[in-house]
Structure 1
Amino acid sequence: MELGRRGRKRQLDVEDAYWRLILAGVGTVEACRQVGITRKTGYRWRAERGGVPPARLAEDARSSRYLSLLERKRIATLRERGLGVREIARRLGRAPSTVSRELKRNMRPHDYGVYDADLAHARARETGRRERTGKLLRDAALRSLVQAKLELDWSPQQISAWLKIAYPERPGWHVCHETIYQAVYYSGKVA
């Protein structure tokens, strides 16, 4: 059975090296040459990020809470041998739910049931660094309530506590004060 192309794998280690060079003051063309990519790729990476390096942690600086590439390779090998989720988890020293969730999140229908550790690792890292839309940006009614209270000089702590008291039937509106601070910080205003 021939496997179809599953898309281009992100070269995250190469991309990290490229961004380290850019941050060190090396020009784009020279950075591309040093890491072994084309100028087109370098310019595409810069355009995708708006010229701002990604805020990814190096693999060794990541929390042990996340699966490492080595653990993903072990999952792939053990799965190839026909072992079940519980046995794979036992051998890795992880919870079975972690292994099960990893297989569900990082396998696609076009992978034909084959778990590719490198591809799964790239998918997981890409998912981890994507921008997420905040709750206040998604919910216009909540946003306008928070905005009105901010205009009355309420603190985010006061707004957070008030939302829990005023809307006990709407747990989706029970935002912590940090959510409000982040919305104000990242957008300059809540709206």
Structure 2
Amino acid sequence: MQHLNVNAKKPIATASCRMKLPHKHSDGGIAMSYTHLTTAERVKIETYLELGMSIRSIARRLGRQPSTVSREIRRNPDYVAERARKRYEKAKTNCGAKTKLDDTMRRTIVEKLRATWSPEQIVGRLYAGKIAFSTIYRWIYAGRIDVPLTVLRQKGKRQKPTETRGR
């Protein structure tokens, strides 16, 4: 039987190792997964670029990968932090699935709901195969279709409260 030396030091990771080490953020914490650039980091990138620093040195100071900084600069030529933030916010709002609700559909749905049609009837007679009636309910509850909840003929199927005892 072989004995393991418990007190033996663990090998130190060097540049030649293929071990991937987590990078440190400028706030001192260690990031294990990717996080989007913050406004403060964008301001620092702008300042460091004005000082003439290289992409690698900027990345090192921010605790980021050089590719992250490079990509940010490439997306925003003539780098200005505020413009870069606005561009990021706009891209974020445009992501995700596109809605099927256009102005014509919205007007038709509102008109039929006010005429006491149920979402099930609207879908069955006008939009069969295009949208589900539950989608109309979701749009109403989310405020994307501007009608009071009183136009709904029924409040939908009642849900039993979920049991939480013993969990």
TM-score bracket, shorter-length normalisation = 0.3 to 0.5
- Structure number with higher relative contact order (C-alpha < 8 Å, ≥ 6 residues apart): 1
Structure with bigger gyration radius: 2
